[in-house]
Structure 1
């Protein structure tokens, strides 16, 4: 199992962390890609820590970046196969950060983008104890036919642009339908005119979901 690590931000309050947000970047990026979201959220979450680990594998298509798993876009099962491969490293990382900060599982929110959303959903739904929440941007659900494996039900918020050509908006609707059929509650939002990315509305929605997941008014 590959160990993962990445940039961190301590609570700007200077007090011990009362919560943790873990960002999971997309294919070909690295942990530095999303840690700036933590800087944007810090003024609204002064007692929360942030971390953005680098995925465990070098990216085949972007040598300077990382990947949670390899993509061929030819194998219909590769999302699930890849998520299974990297799940132990992410699971161990969540445990280590939880123990380092001395917080409970329900004080942790996973925020994924694209391939990172696939990992957030796969791992976050299979933890022994429920996390505070999962926020997924521009992603998909890996192996929707395997939701019988789910062991916890954290609040889920999915956000997707209707002009996404990398993971089309159908990926959002398919994920919502599969989660709903498995009696897993999910809130979702469509961002009009948005391609594969995160806009200001998406940031506001994500921040609101994090605050709700951590019980911050």
Structure 2
């Protein structure tokens, strides 16, 4: 099982009471999302930010990383057609499952480093990173504060109820002009999560392609600030 590494962004003080872990998309690496950290930190000043590189060299780009192979689980690009997305996402369950061990170890290491409870950790994913975040989050011993998923999908929806060991709130943000993972993906994810008893909110962004925009970032920091604040209130 590979040990993950990647960039980090820490506050310039010792008061860290929460952690956000960014999970990049297929063909990128941790540097792709750690650039969001300064903006997030301006709203979450006592949060540490991490962005691990995926465990595998990307199969289509030696300069990028992947969490799992897409050529193996969706060689026919079924994920890009509304009618066949559900089939594609179901097939990716095995890939996400295989990648989850190294990511879990990384999260456990960061949690121990900062001595924070699981309910002060949030995962923020993009595309394949969202798939990993949604796969890992509901298979924890104790729940995370929340999950933000940009432009992603829920893989292996048929396994969720039987695999689920906890729940946490989810915010899904998706562009209506996404050609890589058309907007139907977020509808499938919301349906699967709701059927699994998970609290999910959806923000659809008009004209947005497979990307993260300013409105989505504002929604994300508002969501995370609320979830971290709720945990602070529960502990007092």
Q: Secondary structure at the match of 1:63?
A: strand
The Cα shift of 1:125 comes to 1.1
The 10-residue stretch of structure 1 (38-47 or 134-143) with the greater mean CA deviation from structure 2: 38-47
Q: How many residue pairs were aligned?
A: 216
The Cα shift of 1:41 comes to 1.3
Q: Alignment RMSD, CA only?
A: 1.3
Corresponding position of 1:109: 122
CA separation in 1, counterparts of 2:42 and 2:171? 22
Corresponding position of 2:85: none
Q: Secondary structure at the match of 2:27?
A: coil
Structural mapping, 1:114-153, within 5 Å = 114-148=127-161, 149-153=163-167
Corresponding position of 2:194: 180
Structural mapping, 1:3-14, within 5 Å = 3-12=3-12, 14=13
Q: Pick one of 156, 162, 168 that aligns with 2:176.
A: 162
Corresponding position of 2:108: 95
The Cα shift of 1:78 comes to 3.8
- How far does the alpha carbon of each residue in 1:80-116 deviate from its partner, in whole angstroms, 9 at most, with x for none? 1110110001111111100000110000000000000
- How far does the alpha carbon of each residue in 1:142-179 deviate from its partner, in whole angstroms, 9 at most, with x for none? 10001121111111000000000001100000011111
Corresponding position of 1:209: 223
The Cα shift of 1:16 comes to 3.0
CA separation in 2, counterparts of 1:81 and 1:147? 13
Corresponding position of 1:41: 40
Give unmatched runs, 5+ long, in structure 2. 77-87
CA contact (8 A) 1:136 1:159 kept: yes
CA contact (8 A) 1:28 1:67 kept: yes
CA separation in 1, counterparts of 2:116 and 2:194? 30
Corresponding position of 1:194: 208
CA contact (8 A) 1:105 1:130 kept: yes
TM-score, normalised to structure 2, is 0.89
Give unmatched runs, 5+ long, in structure 1. none
Q: Secondary structure at the match of 1:88?
A: helix
The Cα shift of 1:39 comes to 1.4
Q: Secondary structure at the match of 1:129?
A: coil
More helix by share: 2
Matched, 1:52 2:51: yes
CA separation in 1, counterparts of 2:142 and 2:160? 16
CA separation in 1, counterparts of 2:43 and 2:24? 22
